Amino acid sequence: MDTESENTAPPQNDKIKVILIDDSSVIRGALSRILTTDPDIEIIGSVSNGEMGVTQARLKQPDIIILDVEMPVMDGITALPKIMEVSPKTKVIMCSTLTAKGADVTIKALSLGAVDSIVKPSSSTETGPGSDFQRDLLALLKNLTRRRKPGIRPAPATGASAQTPSSALADKSEIILRNDPNAYKGKPAIIAIGSSTGGPQALFKVLKNFSGFDIPIVITQHMPATFTKILADHIGQQTGINTHEGEDGMLVENGNIYVAPGGKHMLFEKKADGLHIKTDDGPQENFCKPAVDPMYRSLLDIYGTKMLGIILTGMGHDGLAGAKMLVEKGGRLIAQDEETSVVWGMPGAVAETGLCSAILPIEEIGPWVRKAMML
């Protein structure tokens, strides 16, 4: 049953406050059953269209809204900017069907400020106790609302050095930047980007600076199949750079962008006529497929020190193992800073291990790379 309380005072507790906006009572019920299993989460609203959702957001100021894409009265893409206006601290997760239309609207929403997306479950068995859907959804909410502890915010020390990665920094309030005099400092031969939660919006901001590059750019963004093809299309539209979803056997050309296909790892192999993509349907790594680590390992075998790695916003630590290998070979790695990351999991993992040559706000990453390209 839809709730539309006029109580203007948000609940005063430390629980994660969530509003569900979906025209399907079945989906709202499935999500509710999952969220109520966690004592740290409280559902403070459940409504059936975007117009009601905007009102709920204004009145209750939730931490999280899970927003359907297609609804009567007001759809998700229309409601999103209104929600962000009336409740600017709320983080919006899009809930989409696994269709080209649903993916297209979802990618648009992610470019407008939604922080992540989930695919609607197709059956009750997908959402049962112990299911991957339950695990992933609860982890997503916890990561999106994790309160930073006092004194933990990193203060990059430009003059500091870490010749080799440190496995345990004594003071996590100070991030040690890598300043290896033997590291490669020339023009990179390829740029390899890893991203997850919050990644699409971050990618758009970074890649708009890459026009005119004469090297390939390859990306692993944690997304399901269908979504990665739409993401590639949107990157091409927003940047003007030829962008492709990677396919098995595809020739990699300079000045082009390649996005790992959802559900497969994107690897590379060198042949007589150039670099080719090799998709791999092997097991997940770091609970992900595609994953950043297999891509990094594959590229390091070909490019070694001339690979430039970039780790953007995302949950977990995918990319950390590959980044360590990159740094050990003498290559360069940069990461998005905590302040501009939706979730400082992946970039935080490489930053706190002393692997990064630079840790930058998202708007400064593109200019840093352009300088590295000597353009």
Asked whether the beta carbons of 256 and 242 are under 8 A apart, the reply is yes
And the tokens for 343?
């979730």
Task: State both tokens at 53.
Answer: 């959702």
Max CA separation in the chain (angstroms): 68
**In whole angstroms, what is the distance from residue 104 CA to residue 77 CA?**
11
- Cβ atoms 18, 35 nearer than 8 A: yes
Q: Which of 196, 298, 341, 357 is catalytic?
A: 196
Are 18 and 66 within 8 A, CB to CB? Answer: yes
Q: Which two tokens stand for residue 173?
A: 């309030």
H or E element at residue 111: helix 100-112
φ, ψ of residue 81 to 5 degrees: the values are -65, -30
Residue type, 181: P
- Verify whether residue 265 is a known catalytic residue: no
| Catalytic member of 48, 68, 222, 357 | 222
Is 222 one of the annotated active-site residues of the chain?
A: yes
Whether 299 and 268 have beta carbons less than 8 Å apart is answered as yes
- Catalytic residue, chosen from 48, 318, 337, 341, is 318
| φ, ψ of residue 47 in degrees (nearest 5) | -135, 170
**330 vs 202: CA distance, rounded Å:** 26
What distance in Å separates the CA atoms of residue 41 and residue 15, rounded to the nearest whole number? Answer: 5
As given in the structure block, the two tokens for residue 130 are 């112990």
**Paired tokens of 23:** 């025209």
- How many degrees, rounded to 5, is the angle at CA 358 between CA 177 and CA 264? 110
Please say if 2 is a catalytic residue: no
Q: Are 268 and 277 in contact (CB under 8 A)?
A: yes
Q: Which residues are catalytic?
A: 196, 222, 318
